[in-house]
Structure formats: C-alpha cells, structure tokens
C-alpha cells in the first residue's frame, strides 16, 4: 500500500501530479494515472484529512475528460470502481457508475461508466481502492479483500465479449488497461517504514552576556587603596586596644 506522496514509479506506467501543496500537513489536489497488468488488480491509496472536509474522488479513464492538473484523458480505459474505507479498514462508500450526470459518456460506447464520490469526511486516515467492474469488496472490511482477486483476467467470463480478452466492459466493448482519477482536498500519509520528519528546532532566546565589573583605577600618582578584609580589621583593632592597656599599666 503506497501513499499518494510516494506513488511515482510504484505503479506500472503511473504518472502523478500534485499542485496546491504548501507543506506535508496541507490538503491538496492530486491527479493520478496508471495501468493495470490484469483485470483483478487492486490499487490502494492512503490519505488523510486534518479537519472535517469535503473530498472528491473522480475517475476519467472510461470516458475521458480533463483532470484537475490540466491533463486531458482521451478515455477508452476499463470500467472503474472506487471504494472508500476508514483508517481501520471498515467500508464507508463505493461507486461504480456515477448517476448524477457529472461524469462524461464515452463517445464510442455511449456509456457513463466512470465513478464519482463526493463526501464529507471527519478528520482521520482513510484508504480508497481502485478496481475494475466486477471486482467489488468481499465484505465491509478491507482485510477480506475483493471478489475477483486471484482470478486474473476475469472480465470476459461475465461480460458480453465474444473473445477471451481482458479489460472488457459489461456491454461487450474491449477497453484498455489505463486508469486515471483525481483525489481532491486530501493530504498524503507517510509509509509505515518511512521516518517521521524531525520536529523543527526552535532556537532558544539568546542569553545576554554578563557585563564584567571593571575596577575604577585611582588618580595617577595615588597609591591603590587596599581595603582590609573584615577579619584583618578586627585583629588590628584588638591589637591597638591591648597596646593602650599596656601603656596604662606602665604609668
């Protein structure tokens, strides 16, 4: 499972473009493209939202269109399905064919088989899965996998395709292995084995150096006045008193 921030080079033929990304904690829009090797492939993407946010996931591979980063998709790809899970792997939502009229219809087949999810999500971690039509989640738990995993090129078995070929849609049209979709208003997660960036070091307040006390010298020609220690002063006073008492006894 790869995060959006590390997808480049991880998916065969994938190209990832990001924009509007100020820093790792900022929500951004991602336009993703890639290919499947066979019908039963499952592509997972981790993302998060920092506050309750409106997020959008939309595919363009079937009928084409212009992605958020400006890339024009010609269409002709397989019939995609998007499935969303929370951070614990529990099913939240899925869409096979958008019926809101938002996605385009393929000019060759006349079908609007692209997927669309518009959701308001609470702050947290999530996973979105991209699969091909027919490869739906086995249960409400991501850990249970998808129905066609391990079956290789399965689409010709249930579709109206007359030849044993992969990437065949339900109405019998041969498609390509290309996929493309946008993830809008999300932020990427680090991989589990990726080091968490160190917190920035905030410099402490500068310490004001103490000002050394410089003794003021006497006027030129004067001798330095030595101030006796307190114990020396007491000793001198006692010695003077003893001398005076001795003189008095001698009188």
Mean pLDDT over 217-241 rounds to 49
> What is the structure's pLDDT at 145?
97
- Express each pLDDT in 7-50 by its tens digit: 433 343 343 433 333 444 578 999 999 999 999 999 999 999 99
* Element housing 239 (H / E): helix 230-250
Reference 32, options 182, 132, 186; nearest CA is 182
Mean pLDDT over 123-145 rounds to 97
> Residues 177, 36: contact at Cβ < 8 Å?
yes
Please calculate the CA angle 16-22-25 and round it to the nearest 5 degrees.
90
Categorize the per-residue pLDDT at 189 as very low, low, confident or very high, splitting at 50, 70 and 90. low
> What is the structure's pLDDT at 122?
97
- Express each pLDDT in 93-128 by its tens digit: 999 999 888 999 999 999 999 999 999 999 999 999
pLDDT for residue 212 is more than 60: no
> What is the structure's pLDDT at 160?
78
> What is the structure's pLDDT at 10?
35
Q: pTM for the full model?
A: 0.69
Q: How far apart (Å, rounded) are the C-alpha atoms in residues 131 and 125?
A: 20
> What is the structure's pLDDT at 243?
53
Mean pLDDT over 175-189 rounds to 93
Mean pLDDT over 209-213 rounds to 56
Q: Per-residue DSSP letters for 108-169?
A: TT------EEEEEE-SEEEEEEEEETT--BSSSBGGG-BTTTT--S-HHHHSS-SS--SSB-
Locate 132 and state its tokens.
């091909």
Comparing 40 with 241, the larger pLDDT belongs to 40
Q: How far apart (Å, rounded) are the C-alpha atoms in residues 189 and 3?
A: 6
The answer as to CATH 3.40.50.1000 being correct for domain 2-188 is: no
Tell me whether strands 116-121 and 28-35 are parallel, antiparallel or unpaired: unpaired
Q: How far apart (Å, rounded) are the C-alpha atoms in residues 108 and 75?
A: 10
> Residues 135, 43: contact at Cβ < 8 Å?
no
> What is the structure's pLDDT at 8?
34
**pLDDT, the chain, mean:** 78
Share of the chain above pLDDT 70, in %: 65
Out of 66-80, 135-149, 159-173, 235-249, pick the least confident: 235-249
> What is the structure's pLDDT at 27?
87
φ, ψ (nearest 5 deg) of residue 155: -65, -30
* C-alpha distances out from residue 81 to 4, 100, 109, 170, 218, Å: 18, 15, 18, 13, 94
pLDDT for residue 171 is more than 60: yes
Q: How far apart (Å, rounded) are the C-alpha atoms in residues 191 and 3?
A: 6
């Amino acid at each position: 499972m790869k995060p959006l921030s590390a997808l480049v080079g991880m998916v065969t033929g994938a190209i990832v473009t990001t924009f509007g990304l100020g820093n790792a904690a900022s929500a951004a829009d991602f336009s993703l493209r890639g290919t499947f090797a066979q019908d039963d492939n499952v592509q997972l993407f981790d993302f998060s939202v920092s506050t309750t946010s409106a997020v959008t996931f939309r595919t363009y591979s079937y009928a084409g269109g212009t992605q958020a980063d400006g890339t024009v998709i010609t269409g002709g790809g397989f019939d995609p399905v998007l499935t969303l899970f929370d951070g614990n792997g529990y099913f939240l939502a899925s869409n096979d064919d958008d019926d809101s009229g938002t996605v385009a219809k393929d000019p060759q087949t006349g079908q609007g088989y692209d997927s669309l999810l518009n959701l308001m999500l609470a702050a947290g971690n999530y996973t979105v899965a991209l699969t091909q039509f027919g490869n739906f989640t086995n249960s409400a738990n991501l850990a249970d996998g998808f129905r066609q995993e391990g079956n290789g090129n399965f689409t010709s078995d249930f579709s109206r395709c007359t030849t044993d070929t992969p990437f065949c849609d339900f109405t019998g049209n041969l498609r390509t292995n290309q996929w493309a979709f946008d993830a809008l208003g999300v932020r990427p997660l680090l991989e589990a084995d990726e080091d968490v960036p160190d917190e920035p070091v905030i410099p402490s307040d500068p310490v004001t150096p103490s000002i050394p006390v410089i003794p003021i010298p006497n006027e030129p020609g004067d001798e330095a006045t030595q101030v006796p220690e307190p114990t020396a002063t007491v000793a001198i006073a006692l010695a003077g008193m003893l001398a005076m008492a001795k003189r008095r006894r001698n009188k």
